[in-house]
Amino acid sequence: MDTALASSLAIGYLFGAIPVGIFAGRALGGIDPRDAGSHNIGFTNVLRVAGNAAGIVTLIGDMGKGALAVLVARHLLGAAGSEWELAAGGAAILGHIFPVFLRFKGGKGVATALGVLLAVDWIVGASLLAVWLTSAALWRTSSLAALLAFGSLPLWVWLFHPTASMALFAIATTGLIAYRHRDNISRLVAGTEAQIGER
């Protein structure tokens, strides 16, 4: 169990640290997202500076690596390690935000966290995704959509997956994502935050 758990956490972190946005930006848009826009490797900036195809690949890839971290932990740990799937998912989120391959300067963790939640409990993940999509459609602002979606996460956990480990994950992840969006929050307050797709 100890070896399997350590392996799950390490694999989760390494999955999360894969810089999908850089690969997609270079391959499909001819640009490294760190060199333009907000200089972030996440979906929103890749979409902005490298185009729709690169943005979509980044979104799917970042979600996928979060989901894969959970699925690998599920395979390695079995039913006895079900509570540790969230830890492996959390390692993937930390890997995305603090990737060893990029000197620990990564993205904001939104898509990766969503992938983790979809793999752990698809109802919670789908509820979060619905809030994100609805908010993005209404206000066309990715950071606001992310903050509203993860601000609603404790509610979905309470309704659909009320366990101590899930509650702890929800609180920690929401706090981390809010912290990573602190500059966006300042721009939202000032009314200067860019909209989705705005160059």
Residue 197 within a domain: no
Residue 67: its H or E element: helix 52-77
Taking alpha carbons only, the member of 103, 106, 92 closest to residue 41 is 106
- Token representation of residue 121: 């409990």
Residue 196 within a domain: no
Q: What is the pLDDT of residue 196?
A: 79
Q: In whole angstroms, give the CA distance from residue 14 to residue 144.
A: 28
Q: What is the pLDDT of residue 198?
A: 65
pTM above 0.75, yes or no: yes
Residue 195 within a domain: no
pLDDT at 34 > cutoff 90: yes
What is the mean pLDDT of the segment spanning 111-118?
97
pLDDT digits (tens, 9 = 90+) for 64-95: 999 999 999 999 888 656 778 999 999 999 99
Distance of CA 9 to the CA centre of its chain: 16
**DSSP state for residue 30 in the 8-state scheme:** S
Q: In whole angstroms, give the CA distance from residue 83 to residue 90.
A: 12
pLDDT digits (tens, 9 = 90+) for 92-106: 999 999 999 999 999
With tokens 């509610």, the residue in question is 155
Radius of gyration of the chain (CA): 16
Domain range spanning residue 54? 2-190
Per cent of the chain over pLDDT 70 is 96
Residue 109 within a domain: yes
pLDDT band, very low/low/confident/very high, at 194 (cuts 50, 70, 90): confident
92, 64 contact by CB (below 8 A): no
Residue 199 within a domain: no
Look at the chain and report how many structural domains it folds into.
1
Residue 144 within a domain: yes
Q: What is the pLDDT of residue 1?
A: 57
